[in-house]
Amino acid sequence: MPRFRVWVVLFIAALLGAPLTGMAEESTDTPLHFHGYGDIHYNNPQLSTMNQAAISEADAHRFALGLSYELTPEMRIDAEIDFEHAAEEIELEYAHLDYDLAPTLTLRAGSVLLPIGPLNEFHEPTLYRSVERPYVETTVMPTTWQEIGVGLVGRTGNGAFAYRGYLVTGLDAVQLSAIKGLEDSQSHGSEAAAEDLAGVARVEYAAASGLSFGASGYYGGADQGNPALHDVFIGIANADARYRKHDWDLRGVFYRVFVDGAESVSAFTGETIGKAMMGWYAEAAYDLLRRDATGGRRSLFAFGRYEAFDTNLEVPEGFEAEEGAGRSVITGGISYLPIEKVAFKADFEHWKDDTDAELNRFNLGVAFQF
Amino acid sequence: MRLMSGLRKPLIALGAAVSLTAFATASWAETARSVSAEPFARVYLAIRGCSSCAHCRTTIRQMVRANAKGGEARIGVDQVEVRYATPRSIPLREVIHSLAENRLHDLSLVDVLFTARGAIRTARDGSPRFFLEETGQAFPISIDRAVRRPADGTPLRLTALVEGWRGKGDLTLTARTIDSQD
């Protein structure tokens, strides 16, 4: 609670203090920039065979406040605090120092968002169409994932080719789960165990045609010196593509996770930890208001997405795959953006798992960023 | 009174933090203004879409810098400014295209303003052109009757809307303000 108060006081102070200066004559002349985002959800699951206890709920899911302070034109501090579930959970989303070594090469150090997949770093809720994030990117890829680390952020080829690479603190294998996959295994940069480190890198190419590609890799130790686990290593491979032009927004994302030492983790935790996990989704969205064509500001996206993920795709010898670890979700809905930074969303999810249990869910949401 | 007593420390902290933030922002802004006063040229790129978080800002900064050939990129609220402190040829089309090609999410470029020191001269074909100081680089320019055009060759600072960047033809300028540099 004291920590919470300190952050609240600092943020309110900063928000109040900046306008006193008149924010300079031009907004690019101020060293202090604020940003933030939020999303508020209503989820209405229909009672089903998958989760008999599910009830309707409304949740102030995320409210994040961030700031960027330019120490010099080449050196900046960036930070973001996420108040989740009406501030029941407070998380340092990231806090890092950026130091430009060259016009298109930046050294980054601190609590950093891992560059894996398209969503982890660019996770503002107006950037994805559904009320909830794709479930592949909460289980197989545990967004939002941050670790303490250092690395490089760069761009070349007239800006079309981007790369990031960091050395970071590793995952904690003890927190792996049969059903939730990697979801709770990241340190969030909070007194992170640093016995094991990991390397992570991502490359992206964006063509002027509106087509972009990305590929990411992660590999590192995850036993964090726990003698009961012996050596545990986790690897993640990702590939993704997006086409965004002529009012179409098409995305395809794939992740595969390898857990070397899953048998010792399973024996330690008492649940079957997959030695391989996999998740992917394909999504198509079309702007019915045709913002690209008209040059207006409003969009009304109708979208559909199919995703499949399995946190027990392969299991260690002597262990049985957990029932319900293989799941698919079909999501369809609309997202109305009166301006680019505000979205009103409604969608419907149909879940099915490997035991043929099913769940239907209706969601409403409002999302904003500034 | 107990309530007031409980609030005293947070209020003092709030007041101190407000003062420090205001002071720091004002000091930096003053320094920035004095250091960067009257650069040779500026390109203002008005953008819409996601441009606020650290990752978007880094991406935008690097995309612009990759094409700015030494220009200093600064990012504000829904705008990017590229500054050139001293006379040099300005890669205007490349800077504009760095954002116009929409390489980041739903980011879109909506308008471009250009301001620079130079002079307006009449070309052989009778049309006016804006020549950047010391560089010989020139752009076709149209000047509305409401904007007073100085005599050919008069040193001036021009602020103009850049047009033609959505297509593949030449960039043209439409004068907004012309300030004499005499």
Full residue range of the structural domain in which residue A300 is found: 31-369
Is A328 exposed, middle or buried, given 0-12, 13-18 or 19+ CB atoms closer than 10 A? middle
- Interface check for B65 against chain A (CB to CB < 8 A): the answer is yes
Residues 23-42 (B) with a CB less than 8 A from some CB of A: 24-26, 28-29, 32-33, 36
Q: Under a CB-based contact definition with an 8 Å cutoff, are residues A11 and B14 in contact?
A: no
List, in sequence order, the alpha helices (H) in chain B: 2-35, 54-68, 92-100
Least confident segment among A60-69, A101-110, B25-34, B135-144:
B25-34
pLDDT one-digit tens code per residue, A191-223: 888 889 999 999 999 887 789 999 999 999 999
Q: Look at residue A187 and tell me if it is in a domain.
A: yes
Tell whether the model's pLDDT for residue A148 goes beyond 80.
yes
Tell whether the model's pLDDT for residue B8 goes beyond 70.
no
The topology under which CATH files domain B36-180 is: OB fold (Dihydrolipoamide Acetyltransferase, E2P) (2.40.50)
Q: Look at residue A345 and tell me if it is in a domain.
A: yes
- The tally of domains found in chain A comes to 1
pLDDT one-digit tens code per residue, B23-61: 555 555 544 444 446 899 999 999 988 778 888 889 889
Q: What is the pLDDT of residue A30?
A: 82
Q: Look at residue A14 and tell me if it is in a domain.
A: no
A13, A27, A70 ranked by CB distance to B14: nearest: A13
pLDDT one-digit tens code per residue, B63-94: 888 889 889 998 888 899 999 999 999 999 99
Q: Look at residue A21 and tell me if it is in a domain.
A: no
In angstroms, what is the C-alpha Rg of chain A? 21
CATH of the domain at A94: 2.40.160.10
In one-letter notation, the amino acid at residue A123 is: H
Instruction: Report the C-alpha gap between A29 and B32 in whole angstroms.
Output: 6
User: Which residues in chain A are closer than 8 Å to B26, comparing Cβ atoms?
Assistant: 20-21
Do B103 and A206 make contact, defined as CB atoms within 8 angstroms? yes
Do A153 and B58 make contact, defined as CB atoms within 8 angstroms? yes
Q: Look at residue A2 and tell me if it is in a domain.
A: no
- The model carries a pTM of 0.84
Do B52 and A35 make contact, defined as CB atoms within 8 angstroms? yes
Q: Where are the domains of chain B?
A: 1-35, 36-180
Instruction: Report the C-alpha gap between A66 and B77 in whole angstroms.
Output: 14
Q: How far is A367 from chain B (nearest CA, A)?
A: 13
> Which residues partner with A284 through β-bridges?
A250, A304
| Helix, strand, coil content of chain B in percent (nearest 5) | 30, 35, 35
Do B50 and A80 make contact, defined as CB atoms within 8 angstroms? no
Structure ipTM: 0.80
